[in-house]
Amino acid sequence: MKTYEKMTVGQIVTENFDTAKVFDKYGIDYCCHGFTLFPEAVRNAGANYNEVLNALRSIDSPVMENIDFKNWPIDLSVDYILKIYHRNIRLHGPEIQRLLVKVTRVHGERHPELYEIHELFNISLDELYSHLDKEEIVLFPYIYEMVKVEEEHKRLPDFHCGSIETPISVMMSEHEAEGERYRKIEKLTNNYTTPEDACSSYRLLYENLKTFDEALHRHIHLENNIVFPQAIRMEQKLKIND
């Protein structure tokens, strides 16, 4: 049985991705604050320690479908991020925007929090599109280049950002901003709980927002706690071998 008390929440999710569901349930931030030790993260979320611990232990044995990202080659992880998470944002973000317009127009007078949710989500999408572009144009191509250099035993060319840590620090700062934005949305939606007078579109909106939020958490976790540290270590190793 794992000694969760001495692990960070990022490490816990890295060991078994299914534990993310437990942390999502109790509002524990394992992505932007994945470096936080488990006991402290539980306290920060105001959750019951033993309840969360028992929930984790109930899934202590990873299921067959659990993806062992920490042992994937870094370029495969980047492929996964692009094909799953970047596509998800670009595909489902506009769908949620359209649904927000519809639901806010009909229910906004009785539920004025919808106007703020709408505004927050619109800002989020604009920021996320810019964020994805930076990863796809600057950061990820350099990671692919490092993989090629390592495979072909060549010299690592100069990076126009100096070190990979520079764009990574920007990405992590933007991750933090998005995490804060979705904590606000979660609070405004009462943890994505629809009011009693909600129509089917209203319920669908909150379901889609929750799914989008959860996917973003997993996306950020995979980058912050697995891919980015691997990329930094790879660059350092290649520079030493130059």
Q: Is there a single domain that holds both residue 43 and residue 100?
A: no
User: Does position 104 have pLDDT exceeding 60, yes or no?
Assistant: yes
Q: Kindly report whether the global pTM for this prediction surpasses the value 0.85.
A: no
In this structure, are residues 82 and 136 in contact, taking their beta carbons and an 8 Å threshold? yes
pLDDT value at 89 more than 90:
yes
Domain around 195? 72-240
Distance separating alpha carbons of residues 221 and 29, to the nearest angstrom:
9
3-state secondary structure at position 16: coil
Domain final residue pick, 57, 81, 96: 57
Q: Tell whether 12 is covered by a domain.
A: yes
pLDDT at residue 62 above 80? no
Q: Regarding predicted confidence, which is higher, 128 or 19?
A: 128
Residue 230 is assigned to a structural domain of this protein: yes
Q: State the pLDDT at residue 44.
A: 92
| Statement: residue 64 has pLDDT above 50 | no
Task: Please report the pLDDT score of residue 239 as a whole number.
Answer: 87
Decide if pLDDT at 63 tops 60: no
Mean pLDDT over all residues of the chain?
Answer: 91
**Domains: count for the chain:** 2
In a domain, 205, yes or no: yes
**Helix axis angle, 165-188 relative to 228-240, nearest 10°?**
180
Query: What's the one-letter identity of residue 85?
Result: Y
Position of tokens 């996306």?
Answer: 219
In this prediction, residue 18 carries a pLDDT of 80
Nearest Cα residue to 178 out of 125, 139, 110, 226: 125
Confirm whether 62 is domain-assigned.
no
- Assess if residue 63 is contained within a domain: no
- Domain assignment present for residue 233? The answer is yes
- Please give the average per-residue pLDDT across 193-204, as a whole number: 92
pLDDT tens-digit profile of 40-61?
999 999 999 999 988 888 875 5
Checking if the pLDDT of 86 tops 50, the result is yes
Identify which has the larger pLDDT, 239 or 182.
182
Question: What 3-state DSSP class applies to 192?
Answer: coil
Over 80: is that where the pLDDT of 66 sits? no
* pLDDT band at 65; cut points 50, 70, 90: very low
Token reading at 187: 């609070």
Q: Can you tell me the mean pLDDT for 213-221?
A: 93
Neighbouring-strand partners of residue 37: 8
28 and 129, same domain (yes or no): no
| Backbone torsions φ then ψ of 189, nearest 5 degrees | -90, 5
Query: Do residues 98 and 16 share a domain?
Result: no
Rounded CA gap, 50 and 47, in Å? 9
pLDDT tens track for 157-197: 888 889 999 999 999 999 999 999 999 999 999 999 999 99
